[in-house]
Structure 1
Amino acid sequence: MDVEALLAAARGALEDAYVPYSEYRVGAALLTEDGETYVGCNVENANYSNSLHAEEVAVAEAVKRGHREFAALAVASSEQDGVTPCGMCRQTLAEFCEESLPVYCDEGESVSKYRLGELIPNTIQPATLGK
């Protein structure tokens, strides 16, 4: 897996973000197990709670195309501040990804690497619901 290419895809998605309120652009790139990359950007709404996050947009695009298994995620912000997925996005990722999913966060000159399970332990899984 080419981490730099995945980060470049996340950075590229920043340009498409719709952020008239916060002016905080986020891009995400999600790599499928079969090597395809899906990107997402944040899309704000005036009431904020209806805003879409870059990670969930990327997941939705991949799932819409039939993917359910993922190999890695990269996240970038316009601030290059090492932004990590929020709790809601972490739970969405946990629906489809193993705890071992690598999550790369852009810090400009460097990259932080996490495992999804580090970012959100003890998630609600289908098994939690008896499925």
Structure 2
Amino acid sequence: MEEKYMTDKELIKEAIKAREYAYVPYSNFPVGAAILTKSGKVYRGCNIECASYSGTNCAERTAIFKAISEGDKEIEAISVIGDMESYTYPCGICRQVITEFGSNIKVIVGKSENEFKVHTISELLPHAFSPDDLKKNGGKK
């Protein structure tokens, strides 16, 4: 499959579209995410809340799980947008899940399609526990 090029701004626009589908009856805080895989495909996700709060899923993990469930495991970048007044960064659990698929994944955090910051996941979660740690300690992945 031919790899497609997508700008950071275009990936933020995809996260904005995803945010429209957020199911947030409790927090009223919609978040959208979009990931770009090395195959050039984009997967969108939104946060989905549940009355038993522990069943809630973040937008970032929704997008990642969609890609993985389709067999697309090589993530290049992820964009995240929540509140249009401030930057909404991935939570700790989402950072750990992103790290599972690479330490150099680009994380684009936006307020709008024109105002965003770019990091790598290793900048947002330094010294993360990764699949390599399991290999070093005799575990199997």
Query: Normalised by the size of structure 1, how large is the TM-score?
Result: 0.93
Q: Which has the larger radius of gyration?
A: 2
Q: 1:44, CA displacement in angstroms?
A: 0.5
Q: In 1, distance between residues paired with 2:83 and 2:91?
A: 16
Matches within 5 A, 1:1-131: 1-97=6-102, 99-108=103-112, 109-130=114-135, 131=140
- SS of 1:16 mapped into structure 2: coil
CA positional deviation for 1:47: 2.5
Q: Following TM superposition, where does structure 1 have runs of at least 4 consecutive aligned residues deviating by more than 6 angstroms?
A: none
Q: Which runs of 5+ in 1 are unaligned?
A: none
Report the aligned-residue RMSD: 1.3
| Structure 2 spans left out of the alignment, 5+ residues | 1-5
| SS of 1:127 mapped into structure 2 | helix
CA distance in 2, matches of 1:4, 1:127: 32
Size of the aligned set, in residue pairs, is 130
